[in-house]
Structure 1
Amino acid sequence: MANTILTREGYEKLVAELDFLRNVKRAEVSERLRSAIEGGGDDLLENAEYEAAKNEQSFTEGRIKELEYLVAVARVVDSSESSEIIEVGSKIEISEEGSDIVESYIIVGAPEANPEENKISNESPIGKAVIGHKKGDIVQVSAPIGSYNIKIINIH
């Protein structure tokens, strides 16, 4: 069973989502399904509301199974007090070599990656490249578009 690395915050979000799906969403979908059956007449196969509710139930149960697995195998990493070496949970500032533009990211486990929040996975090209490095290091990023170098400006 492979471990999934998560930050404490990411783990807590997944547990909260799992709790919501089990205790709230499941009941809502069940009620929607019951209403569709009661109001659907004789032929459930032609009842669009019933079909939509069955699809939602399937999606919800699939997500519950996925979250149960992730929570069971997760290795939770608390942000370290040391900000000398980059690891999951580190907040970093980097710039592409030759550029003055500084970009900020938080390195997180794959299930909690969210580029809109500047949370990048430790399995992403940049994440893989910077893990284990220090402030001032220049590292090579191997991306689908080719390789390029970045400088680690700061680690928080």
Structure 2
Amino acid sequence: MVYFQKMTPEGYKKIETEIAELKKDRPRRIKILQEARSLGDLSENSEYTEAKRDLGHLQSRLRFLNKQLQYAQIVQKNNDGVIDLGSQVEIQFEDEVEIEPYTIVGTLEADVIDNKISFDSPLGAALMHKKAGDLVKVNAPAGSYQVRIISVK
């Protein structure tokens, strides 16, 4: 069974950009490895060991990102007012005055600092397929709480 990873078009593009940057950096890292190898005894050559490790990390990251694209299922957002992957929502937590903006994204795109929450997180899952004005109960590991959906874009 093949498991597809849902993501937004923006998330897919971000991975493509990172792959391009890593591929552009690969020749530089190979050159560093070759220069370190030419320094002599490899068993005590810390420059060689570090360069080999860095190139290995780059190659590993490239394989990981390519797999993400291979199994990506890009979800296009409908503008029907229903929350789905890619929706930008404004919510108000119970007993709070402030309105918080969030974007619903795929699991790999989630970034709390950037207010991007995964569709399968407790908050994201509770918001999915709801509309502005709905009062939603969120079942989180630390307990339940409610949020009101102010707007959906």
Q: Structure 1 stretch 143-152 or stretch 103-112: which is displaced more? A: 143-152
Q: Are 1:62 and 2:54 an aligned pair?
A: no
The structural deviation recorded for 1:134 is 0.9
| Aligned partner letter, 1:2 | Y
Residue matched to 2:128: 131
Residue matched to 2:92: 95
The percentage of counterpart residues that share the same residue type is 37
Residue matched to 1:10: 11
Residue matched to 1:47: 45
Residue matched to 2:118: 121
Query: Aligned to 1:86, what secondary structure does the other structure show?
Result: coil
Query: Aligned to 1:120, what secondary structure does the other structure show?
Result: strand
Query: Aligned to 1:154, what secondary structure does the other structure show?
Result: strand
Query: Aligned to 1:151, what secondary structure does the other structure show?
Result: strand
The structural deviation recorded for 1:144 is 2.3
- Give the TM-score normalised by the residue count of structure 2: 0.93
Query: Aligned to 2:148, what secondary structure does the other structure show?
Result: strand
| Aligned partner letter, 2:5 | T
Q: Once superposed, what is the RMSD of the aligned Cα atoms?
A: 1.2
| Aligned partner letter, 2:6 | I
Encode CA deviations 1:104-132: one digit per residue, 9 max, x unaligned.
Answer: 00001111111221111112111111011
Q: Structure 1 stretch 29-38 or stretch 139-148: which is displaced more? A: 139-148
- Give the TM-score normalised by the residue count of structure 1: 0.92
Structure 1: unaligned runs, 5 residues or longer: none
Residue matched to 1:35: 35
